[in-house]
Amino acid sequence: MKVLKFGGTSVANAQNIKLVLEIINQNSKEGRLAVVVSALSKVTDLLQLAAAKAAANDESFREIVAEIEKKHLDTLKELIPVSEQSSLLSHIKRIINHLETLLDGCFLLGELSPRTADTILSFGELLSSYIIAQAYHQINKNSVYKDSREIIKTNSNFGKAVVNFEISNQLIQEYFAENESQINILPGFIALTLDGITTTLGRGGSDYTAAILAGALDAEQLEIWTDVNGMFTANPKIVKQAQPIATISYQEAMELSHFGAKVLYPPTIQPVLRKNIPILIKNTFDPQAEGTLITNQAPANGTAVRGISHIDNISLLTLEGSGMIGVSGSSKRLFEVLSHEKINVIFITQASSEHSICIGILNSDADNAEIAINKAFEIEILQNKIDPCIVEKNLCIIALVGENMKNHQGLSGRMFSTLGKNNVNIRAIAQGASERNISAVINERDVKKALNTLHENFFEENTKQLNLFVMGVGNVGEKFIEQIHNQRKFLKDNLKINVRVIALSNSRKMLFDEDGISLKEWQAALDNGETAQKEAFIARAKELNLRNSIFVDITADASVSETYEQFLKESIAVITCNKIACSSAYDNYKKLKSLSRQYNAPFLFETNVGAGLPIIDTVKNLIASGDKVHKIQAVLSGSLNFIFNNFDKNNSFHDVVKEAGVQGFTEPDPKIDLSGIDVARKILILIRESGYEMDIDAIANESFLPAECLATTNNEAFFTSLIKHAPHFEKIYEEALSKDSRLKYVAQFENGKASVGLQFIPKDHPFYNLEGKDNIVLFYTDRYVDQPLLIKGAGAGAAVTASGIFADVIRIGNI
């Protein structure tokens, strides 16, 4: 014989019940069945609400009863032929009338006793099982309905009654021995005291009913039919990459179900565990799926960690003080207090110094527990031997579970290291001697990040998911997104990096998608996004709290550069081509670097100097390896190099600057490039990365622009001034020709002094043949004395700048 149990979602409505009937029918071909069913979905909640309202003298409980009646009558009418409905509808109405009478009593008395509550809650299963039994009888006449209260007996602990297995097993065995029906359909969740009073078996009681029957009958198998394809490596609603577990041991299943795996109620396993009866978890809506088989042995070739689970709504209570050290009985007193208050302890840890005991309980029990503990230790608290109970709410317990974890070293370190890298703060840790479970208490807001991070580390072949929040989607931003789109598959297959763009923003609109924005038609989606607001963008990124989050600044906006601190403090990495932050006040630059280390959030800005050239990375490696930079000479503006390489007798200075803008080589405001401030920022960043302290005002900026050009306030006025002062620029060009030199805008640093300005470069200088938009940097160091370290290549342009930003993303992926 097999025992099948169908949960609330499986019997939510007539359509779902038809699937259940088909599954029962298919299984009936293999032998006798006991079928246990839950109440229709949400009916138990409605019954609880109706009872509470009635006890509170709220007449609206009658509306809830009417809703419950309609739900069941509609279901019956859809499942049963019209010719068979009359007597069945009358039976349903009689049950509803009985329910309403009980609720009337609660209303009149203004109270709801635990005994009455159990009776009221029993109506959900009584109604659903009757309807399903009658519907299946239309298919197979060799089927009967059996009220499980007649064969399962409990004590009178209403709300969570304890089963009398000796009597129940005998009654179950006698009934199934005397009754020869092939299919027996029974309500779950409910039972009866020896005095004939209805009780319930607690949360998940229908699972328990099925397990009780399976154990008593030595069933071939217990099948739990639900709405998912078995037990998963993590909650699939939180971890999208969670995978079904094909086989798992009883012990592992109990650990996972205790820690929130909702497909199985922990006590369910006990009656079948003793008899080694397999449990198969199947999906009503995908019956062909393999499901999860629970047996008495874990697979020999299984992974060490079988699943990651969690319990929400946890409070941490800490009792500590010198008065506990060496004093026997402190723990006993603490747990006795909680036992008397009927508070379940979910988590326990104690320091070896005996100075403190830390326990985890449900948030709903925290206030009561705090009062009771402080009262029990009142004398010690008054004598300052023990501190008042410390309560921390809104926490969560996460757990790694696996039968084979005891045979693998380093799992705890790997778990906590993974969480630490994403700045998930651990409040408490516990691990049993069996090493089947490693538990940690964390903040509730970090649950999603923690579960996804751990799942990625233990189950996803070390594929690292990076979640990008991109601000600025102009020329460079567009190329950056295009490069991500083109390289996503390569990165995932070869570097095990999964890059997702979670948010995009320009000056007008912003767009968020927690599952990742489709990069095929992102422009249209962004155009239809919400109004861009910088603070709202930051707040949403923080609120999502995704693992490996990266803020990518592809703007030249000073106000955006001022937000980096907020991101770093939330352990959100920052990648930027915006030079303002790293060339701001030295104290701010150092603060950002310090926050990056403190919160384990990379702060990368390779494209601040040289676009896609590895200049900053090279400097970092030089310094890290013990070298010292003494002198830097560089042409650091690809836009200025392009301008002066193309400015001649045939091309006016104004026209060349215009063309540089069209090509995307200059900033939106070209005066930033031509004033020299952009180059000054770049050399300043190189100086700082070389280990020197300097601020921007210490750099001599010898501008070649006339004062009137520098004083303009918009692009139109600036370009007009370039036309007006054309003779000035032509004179500079003629002077370069006369000296047989070329014009280059050079940045220099030596002996603690720095400058930027236009220079006449002779033919024998390394800068003379620098073409197009190229950059060049010469580093003179302890190791590179006579011949400098030279880095040369394209230093401007949307594509190369985007590639530099992309390279920083990959650097974070490889950390």
List the catalytic residues: 682
SS (H, E, C) 379-419: HHHHCCCCCCCEEEEEEEEEEEECHHHHHCCCHHHHHHHHH
**Helix, strand and coil percent figures for the chain, each rounded to 5:** 45, 20, 35
Q: What is residue 771's three-state secondary structure? A: coil
Q: Which helix (H) or strand (E) holds 74?
A: helix 61-79
Angle between helices 653-662 and 638-646 (to 10 degrees): 140
SS (H, E, C) 261-302: CCCCCHHHHHHHHCCCCCEEEEECCCCCCCCEEEECCCCCCC
Cβ–Cβ under 8 Å, residues 399 and 310: yes
| CA 426/CA 419 separation, integer angstroms | 8
Cα distances from 457 to residues 231, 406, 415, 452, 561, in angstroms, run 19, 18, 8, 9, 32
Cβ–Cβ under 8 Å, residues 612 and 794: yes
Long-range CB contacts for residues 342-346, cutoff 8 Å, separation at least 24: 343/368, 343/369, 346/311, 346/314, 346/397
Q: Is 10 left (phi over 0), alpha (psi -120 to 50) or beta?
A: alpha
Cβ–Cβ under 8 Å, residues 43 and 128: yes
Residue found by looking up tokens 């941490």 in the block: 316
Q: Which residues, 6+ apart, have CB-to-CB distance to 424 below 8 Å?
A: 442, 443, 446, 449, 450, 453
Q: Where do runs of H (alpha helix) occur along 516-572?
A: 522-527, 534-544, 558-561, 564-569
Q: Locate 621 and state its tokens.
A: 């490696």
Closest CA to 759 of 705, 700, 702, 706: 702
